[in-house]
Structure 1
Amino acid sequence: MSATPLALAVDFGGTKVEAALVDADGVLLPGSRHRLPTGRTATVADLEASVGGVVRDALAALPEGATVVGVGIGCAGPIDRRRGLVSPLNVPDWRDYPLRDFIASVAASLSLDVPVTLEMDGVAITMAEHWVGAAQGVDNVMGMVISTGIGGGLIVDGRVITGPTGNAGHIGHVEVGATRGEDTFGAPYALEAIASGPHTVAWARGEGFTGTTGEELAAAYAAGDEVAVAAITRTGRAVGHAIASATALLDLELVAIGGGFSHSTPDLFTHMREVIEAHYFPFVRKVRIVPSALSSEGPLIGAAALIHRSALLPANPRD
């Protein structure tokens, strides 16, 4: 593996940041994957220490003679791809933070001078599915992550769609009918406020569920608990309606879904598909909804795809 060009992949989210070296086949270099915490209470100094730490640790695993050809960063949104700024909703201390420049400076301190590309994490995970995952050979795709938040990305006619700011595909913040979730970010009708893992649990707790985690809710669902069943059904249907709207707009062929809460039960996908099957447009009913074919490495593979498959991305003019 040491002879192949490597990408330094960085995935920044609301609970953790990870980095690893990834080869041109989408395979992580053994021993290069490192993780440190982020979170709502982290300060700028905390976040910089975590990001800098995983970057340095990953690069320390670079084999002798190997070459890093670029750094790919997938970050929770919203972002500003032109200026390299990030404002992840679940990390309040970072608003218009220059993450691209910060990681470039860490790399430069280690004598690594290569291109650094920043995109929204949903874009990265969609590129990973299209490259080595469930969307191989499909050119009209939405990737989704259902976890602490809900993110997404788009490939249309074989090209990645980012939009001018980099936030195209932000499916977690479309509004879903009359279903009301928690008043998150002042948007109780947004899909994320209804269907993310924590918000599904919060709704269930309001109905009498005594657990506190998505894992506990999944266990209760498996045991036939009525509130857990209602919560999972509600979430699945909300996601299904969002997918139906996205498909009506973009004529999607496939939606690949990963993230921790997407694994709560296979029935979650059943509830989504029931919404699609009942849609009045035949071209919407054709869309396939499938689980991610990638392991937890998917976000890092996606960040590496920003380098190894950069030809799929639109140009990014910079200041």
Structure 2
Amino acid sequence: MDIGGTKIAAGGVTPEGHLTWRRQTPTPKGGPEEVFAALAALIQGTTPTAVGIGCAGPIDLIAGTVSPVNIPGWRDFPLKARVEDLIRTPVELAGDGLCMAAAEHWAGAGRGTDNMVGLVVSTGVGGGLIVNGQPHPGRTGNAGHIGHIVVDDSGIPCPCGGRGCVETVASGPNLVRWARRQGWRAPANADAAHLAAAALHGDGVAKAAFDRAGRAVGRAILATAVLADLDLAVVGGGVAQAGDLLFAPIRAAIVEHVGLSYVRRLKVVPAELGADAGIVGAAALVAR
């Protein structure tokens, strides 16, 4: 299962990493039981051997609870126990960023690499670490939260409580907000995809927005690689669909700031699994 602020998705995955079925529903905006009922409806009638759940964070692996920033109805919600009670099957819980990383390591762009970070650059910016060939959740399950590395200490406040985090610069909504503040004119419902289209047609403000975002992501990737001794970053999510508009400044920032020899071979590549990465990565938690 893949649970986020916009959608809840579930799917069946074989032990080899192949998706056999998929269901999805919008994430309700109501209270905790309304959100859980939507989740329960997706897996009604299924008989899995085991269940992996990737959920937006923060999470608490020790307590088995979740408090996603983008799902206000769930605060310290006992997700692991509730799903186990529902289907009488062992459940493994992880952050959605870790699931993305696990999926790409298992069946995507990270195959053959034992030390990597996976990033989702979308409505928010999330991430997860693979260390010595294994998903690395950290003490509480929140390791790899790369979106909340500070890249501009004079930047705007972040919903996490910090200021100037990568997410405030590179997430889709913040890309658009910055571009509008610089004079970009677009319909009220314009999103990062519209901004990317404008950049590809030569709009200077739109190009500057992606350059600014990519450099912020690149600095965060490099900082993570220096800290954890990584050799690969796999970047996915809706904003990453902009291709070189985002990847070129990511790579440029790394080249400009890299110093230590052990991270000079760091590679940044696009994710391969797309919208299914969360489900496949959640399955990887139990299939492996």
Fold match by TM threshold 0.5: yes
Contact 2:69 2:159 in 1 (8 A): no
Tell me the equivalent position of 2:113.
Answer: 138
**Aligned partners of 1:183, 1:118: CA distance in 2, in Å?**
25
Tell me the equivalent position of 1:36.
Answer: 25
How far off its partner does 1:106 sit? 2.3
**Aligned partners of 1:160, 1:265: CA distance in 2, in Å?**
26
Superposition RMSD in Å: 1.5
How far off its partner does 1:263 sit? 0.6
The correspondence for 1:235, drawn from 190, 203, 213, is: 213
**Aligned partners of 2:243, 2:129: CA distance in 1, in Å?**
25
**Aligned partners of 2:217, 2:93: CA distance in 1, in Å?**
27
Greater shift, 73-82 or 208-217, is seen at 208-217
For structure 1, the residue ranges without an aligned partner over 5 or more in a row are 1-9, 63-67, 108-112, 310-319
Listed one character per residue, the Cα deviations across residues 65-119 of structure 1 (whole Å, up to 9, x for unaligned) are xxx2201000011100122100111111211111112222221xxxxx3211101
Task: Report the TM-score, using the length of structure 1 for normalisation.
Answer: 0.85
1:183/1:155 CA distance change after superposition, 3 Å? closer
Tell me the equivalent position of 1:205.
Answer: 180
Matching of residue 280 in structure 1 with residue 269 in structure 2: no
**Aligned partners of 1:203, 1:70: CA distance in 2, in Å?**
43
Greater shift, 250-259 or 205-214, is seen at 205-214
**Aligned partners of 2:158, 2:100: CA distance in 1, in Å?**
27
How far off its partner does 1:221 sit? 0.9
Opposite residue 232 of structure 2, the aligned amino acid is L
**Aligned partners of 1:198, 1:239: CA distance in 2, in Å?**
15
Listed one character per residue, the Cα deviations across residues 132-153 of structure 1 (whole Å, up to 9, x for unaligned) are 1111110011111111111111
SS in 2 for 1:50: helix
Contact 1:188 1:194 in 2 (8 A): no
User: What pairs up with 1:71-220 in 2 under 5 angstroms?
Assistant: 71-107=51-87, 113-178=88-153, 180-211=155-186, 212-220=190-198
SS in 1 for 2:52: strand
Contact 1:237 1:272 in 2 (8 A): yes
SS in 2 for 1:184: coil
Contact 1:42 1:93 in 2 (8 A): yes
1:263/1:232 CA distance change after superposition, 3 Å? same
Opposite residue 51 of structure 1, the aligned amino acid is L
Aligned residues: 284
For structure 2, the residue ranges without an aligned partner over 5 or more in a row are none
SS in 2 for 1:33: strand
Contact 2:104 2:110 in 1 (8 A): yes
Listed one character per residue, the Cα deviations across residues 1-44 of structure 1 (whole Å, up to 9, x for unaligned) are xxxxxxxxx00011000001110111111xx31111116x3322
SS in 1 for 2:92: strand
SS in 1 for 2:151: coil
Tell me the equivalent position of 1:315.
Answer: none
Task: Report the TM-score, using the length of structure 2 for normalisation.
Answer: 0.94
SS in 1 for 2:274: coil
How far off its partner does 1:253 sit? 0.5
Contact 1:122 1:145 in 2 (8 A): yes
